[in-house]
Structure 1
């Protein structure tokens, strides 16, 4: 249960994110809080990363390169 709660703390307000940063500083030695935009990009990447990769490959790679890989 704790892992589920802890994984969602960054989606909460600043007070909760500050508590997370304090915890990570004490437990893991992490010195700074990740900027909000990096957190958002990380969440999007984890949810739709493969789908976005597929769109990128289909748009920017030609068939010869796909066959070679």
Structure 2
């Protein structure tokens, strides 16, 4: 299945990939901040698109982070 840039699934996968690549066993506030900053920069600076799509991507990123944070608290 293809995951498209800007979807909630894309951002969830990007966050978990970053954690795996950096061998982080748990999600901390610091790691989420670093990951979020990188993804926001990518959305705002590198991704060429209509402003409406850019805002939708930012909302999807927020939603992905909230889902991951909720899952972390449930464990």
Using the size of structure 1 for normalisation, the TM-score is 0.35
What TM-score does the superposition give when structure 2 sets the normalisation length?
Answer: 0.33
Query: Which structure's relative contact order is higher, taking Cα pairs within 8 Å and 6+ residues apart?
Result: 2
Q: Which structure has the greater CA radius of gyration?
A: 1
